[in-house]
Structure 1
């Protein structure tokens, strides 16, 4: 069953301006090491790469109903790629706790994420599914 959805639209030029103004300080404050490495591996589209990840963080915080409050921080939400290459989230700290709190008993949460960009916009859409756990014999 679907327990939450969230979406966000981020301006790539806004992220580029933050990179220009604050550089690595901005990157370290907002993005995980994996996200920073992904951005650095794409020097010509770094701002777009990071803008999609920024949008994913915002979309998740909306889906779980907290925004960046109640212990949910941007660096607790990291975009990673599954073996298939599809984007998904790696959650830590308050983000992982909040996801656990909204997941019904006897279920596991599965986060579905899609990212896209078309300059000057980057977008993320999240669906959080609760899958029933198999019952113990």
Structure 2
């Protein structure tokens, strides 16, 4: 069953301006070390950050909170499987919220997809509850 759906569209040029103006302060407030390492390996760092920004926004919407109710930016983090597929990890308040949303006898699976076409970065998040075997 679907527990939540979220989407977000981020402007890569806007994220670049924020990076230019606030640099490490912005990165350290919003992105985990894993996310920053991924961006640092990419030629299009702003695009990489914009996709992850959009994913965090989309995840907060799928959790039904937006960026309110105590969620921290770093409570939601995008990593990649060896195949390149993005995955969303939640900690802190986001993890607590996810647990409250998940019906007994089910496990929550967070699906995330990212795309960009300059100047836009987009993310969709679907939270699914699967019955435990």
Q: What range describes the TM-score normalised by the shorter chain of this pair?
A: over 0.9
Q: How does 1:1-137 map to 2 (within 5 A)?
A: 1-42=1-42, 44-134=43-133
* 2-structure distance, mates of 1:109, 1:82: 18
Q: Do the aligned partners of 1:80 and 1:88 also contact (CA within 8 Å) in 2?
A: yes
When normalised by structure 1's length, the TM-score is: 0.94
- Tell me by how many angstroms 1:90 deviates: 1.2
After TM superposition, where is structure 1 displaced by more than 2 Å over at least 4 residues in a row? 82-85
When normalised by structure 2's length, the TM-score is: 0.97
Q: Do the aligned partners of 1:72 and 1:98 also contact (CA within 8 Å) in 2?
A: no
| Structure 2 unaligned spans of 5+ | none
> What SS does the corresponding residue of 2:128 show, helix, strand or coil?
strand
- Tell me by how many angstroms 1:109 deviates: 0.3
Higher gyration radius (CA)? 1
* 2-structure distance, mates of 1:126, 1:88: 10
> What SS does the corresponding residue of 1:23 show, helix, strand or coil?
helix
Between 53-62 and 83-92, report the one with greater CA deviation: 83-92
| Structure 1 unaligned spans of 5+ | none
* 1-structure distance, mates of 2:84, 2:103: 28
